[in-house]
Structure formats: structure tokens, C-alpha cells
Amino acid sequence: MTQENEPGLRLNRRDALLGLAAVTGVAAAGVGGVAVASDWLGPPRLTASHFADRFEQLYGRHDGFRRNHAKGVAAAGTFASSGAGSEVSKASVFASGTSPVIARFSLSGSLPDVADDPATVRGLGVLFQLRGGQQWRTAMVNIPVFPVSTPEAFFEQLLAAKPDPATKKPNPAAMSAFLAAHPESAAAMKIIKAAPPTAGFADSTFRSLNAFLATDSNGRTTPIRWSLVPGQPADPPDPGGNAHDKLFDALVEQAGRGPLSWRLVLTVGAPGDPTHDATLPWPADRRTIEAGVLTIDHLLTEAPGNARDINFDPTVLPDGLALSDDPLPRARSAVYAQSFNRRAREPKSPSEINVEQVIHDEH
Ligand code: HEM
């Protein structure tokens, strides 16, 4: 599947580019059918292909795989809306009822066969298929805030975090220099370090981090962020376990015993809460809305036609949800499209996580 024949994305890409043009005052350009916005990051010129190139330069090119969050497993299930989210958004996903979802659990990083490490950021992408053909796509992570506030900083941080071939760890001097230049990232890292990761995927809370704007049926707009809050503990880790795929294996085994669930919780921003900066948490006492329950019924080995071939572009939003002034989602949209277009044209090899194999090995 290519970017071009995904109807939701074609619309979205145009919208995103229009949004970029509006923000920068510079016309955005499509080059070779790939979303590349000109000057969207200001001088020096930084484009979506620079980002994709940087992932490849730092971690190698892994044909057919995502340039980030390369290791993953596909999933399918449903979202049962409570109807309560309609208070802030007219999006049909928040009306009472059930929508099918396609999802993908992942580990951040560009290596499709990296060894599972509980400290690696975990991701969950979800596509809600809504009545009337609309979609909501969101890609969330298990950390409380994002470590950077701008695409430029993310680009710099990638280089600073480059593992030293000798130690396999980032060069501390490069990381210190990055944090000295980015006090907002230093502050975010403190918040992230104070919230150690849970045991596994099944007990992870996945958060949007970026703020979005919800509009209700009366036209009233409210800033929101959202989280998926787990309904189960994770399987206790094997005390001696150091298996290469231990986090994914545990998830596959747990999902094989019955559905896994997460509550979708909307956090309602108050006037003055920052919407432009994903490094800044909102005060802990902000009102929340229990919008419904996401149920994952089964996991699937990545394969043609499942979540492998979806771009969980966070700017694909249903009517009733819109982008805020946060610069990250627009940049993410362009970079994800670049990654998607590259991987869609490359030869494929099997994914590290083979669900049938994990279940077979368990028995
Ligand atoms: C400028 C900032 C960012 C850049 C450049 C970036 C880059 C990327 C890229 C290249 C991909 C692979 C896309 C594909 O091939 O489909 C990806 C996937 C992903 N990103 Fe980001 N990302 C950014 C920010 C974020 C943020 C803020 C979050 C979460 C709040 C996030 C969560 C994810 C997740 C969960 C996936 C995997 C989705 C899937 O399974 O397809 N990213 N990112």
C-alpha cells in the first residue's frame, strides 16, 4: 500500500501542508508524491528526508521497516465508547457505540531486531475506524512527557544520543551539551526519570503527550491530551529471564490467554495550560473524562494488510478533533510519510516478533 492510495492520508497530508504553510508563511511543496514541507523548521533547512536519512545514518537502513519504532507487533480489537467524551468533542468516536481498531505495539528505535530493554520507550499506535469512513490515528508512548519540544531539538537529540561504538551508550559529553543547550529537555528528562517504566506492555499507560483541540457540537473548543490506562497488570517478568524478546513474548503470551484492555482517559486543559510544548506536564489535578475502553482481542505477526502497512500519522483526526499550536504533530506527519514511503517501496523481511512462534514455544 502506498501513501497515495490511503484516502485518509491524502486528505490529511494536504491539510498538514496547508497548516504548515499557514504557520511558516512559506508555500509547502510535495516532491515526488512525498510530503516534504519547505522551510518548516526554519534555517538551516530541515526536511522530512533529512530526518529519515539521519535515522538511517545512525542505525543503518533496514529495508521494509519503520525508521523509528521499527520493532513491533500488530494487533486488532475494538473501542467501546462510553459517550462521555461527547461533552468536549463531537467526534463520532466519542458517541456511545463501538468502533473497530487496528493497533501496533512497538519499541522506539530504528533496529527491527533490537533486544528488548524495559528502559526503551514503548509505543502504541491505534487507528479507530469510524462510522462514515472517518478515522482517528494516534501514536502514543509510555513516558509522562516528551523529551523535546520542537522538531529541530528532536533532530539534534538523535545525534547526541548516538551510541558510541565502543560503549554502545551515548557519549555523555554530547548528551550534556545537548541538555545544556535545551533546558526544557533537561527538565523533561527529570520528569521521565522520576516515572520508571512498568513491567511490560500490558501494564503500560500510553500517552498522546501532544495537546490537541476538541470541539463540541456547539462549536466550543477545549484543549485535551489523552492516555490509555491499563486494565491489567503485566505478567510478572521471569526472574531469570533475559530473553531477547522478553517484553514482546510476555505480551503475546498474555494476549493469548484473553483480551487486554485500556481505558481511554481524556485530560481537559484549563485556560493557560501549555498546548505548544510536549515537555511540559499539565497540573495533576486537571479534570479527566472516561471516554471508553479499548480492548485488544488478538496480536498478529506483522504482515501485508495489517498494522505493518499503516502510518499512524497523528494528524489524521476525525471532525471534532484538531491540531493545536504544538509543532511536533505536523513535523511527525511529514516524517512518518517519508518513512512510510521509503519502507513501502523496499523489499520485506520477516519481523522479529512472530506471534505463532511465541505461542508455539510456550506450549
Ligand atoms: C519530531 C518528533 C518525532 C519524529 C521525527 C518521529 C519519528 C518517527 C518515525 C519516522 C516513525 C515511523 C513512522 C512509520 O514508518 O510509520 C515513528 C513512529 C512512532 N512514533 Fe514518532 N516521532 C516523533 C515524535 C513522537 C511523539 C511525540 C510520539 C508520542 C507521543 C511518538 C510516537 C511514535 C510511535 C508510537 C510510533 C510507532 C507507530 C507505529 O507503530 O507505526 N513519536 N516516529
- The backbone torsions φ and ψ at residue 323, rounded to the nearest 5 degrees and listed phi first, read -70, 150
The residue to mutate among 36, 68, 345, having the most atoms of ligand 1 within 8 angstroms of its beta carbon, is 68
For residue 297, give the nearest of 357, 333, 257, 346 by alpha carbon.
Answer: 257
pLDDT of 17 higher than 60 = no
Q: How many domains does the chain have?
A: 2
| CB of 146 closer than 6 angstroms to any ligand 1 atom | yes
Identify the band that residue 237 occupies on the pLDDT scale cut at 50, 70 and 90: low
Ligand 1 atom index nearest CA of 67: 10
Band (pLDDT 50/70/90 cuts) for residue 236 is: confident
- Mark whether 31 and 115 lie in a shared domain: yes
Residue 139 scores a pLDDT above 90:
yes
At 19, is the secondary structure helix, strand, or coil? helix
Band the pLDDT of 169: cuts 50, 70, 90.
confident
**Distance from C-alpha of 337 to C-alpha of 334, rounded to nearest angstrom:** 5
pLDDT at residue 93 is higher than 50: yes
**Does residue 225 share a domain with residue 174?**
no
Are 284 and 218 contained in the same domain?
yes
Sign of the dihedral through C-alpha 180, 185, 190, 196: negative
The rounded distance, in Å, linking the Cα atoms of 221 and 259 is 35
Q: Are residues 33 and 80 in the same domain?
A: yes
Average pLDDT value for residue range 283-291: 98
- Is 336 annotated among the ligand-binding residues? yes
- Are residues 54 and 15 both part of a single domain? yes
Range of the domain at 203: 3-144+195-362
pLDDT reported for residue 24: 25
**104 Cα nearest atom in ligand 1:** 40
Same domain, 81 and 123: yes
Query: Can you tell me the distance from the alpha carbon of 270 to that of 201, in angstroms, rounded to the nearest whole number?
Result: 31
Which cell is 363 given? 506450549
Domain end among 164, 194, 224: 194
Q: Which pLDDT value is given to residue 362?
A: 79
Residues 204, 334, single domain; the answer is: yes
Give the integer Cα–Cα distance in Å for 36 and 32. 9
Band of pLDDT at residue 278, cut at 50, 70 and 90? very high
Task: List, as one string, the DSSP characters of 30-99.
Answer: EETTEEE-TTTT-SSP--HHHHHHHHHHHH---TTS-SSS-EEEEEEEEEEE-SGGGGT---GGGSSEEE
Q: Ligand 1 test: best mutation among 47, 66, 73, 352, most atoms within 8 Å of CB?
A: 66
Kindly state whether residues 14 and 126 are assigned to the same domain: yes
Residue-averaged pLDDT of the chain: 89
- Give the residue-averaged pLDDT of 44-64: 94
**Ligand 1 in reach of 145 Cβ (< 6 A):** no
| Nearest atom in ligand 1 to 331's CA | 1
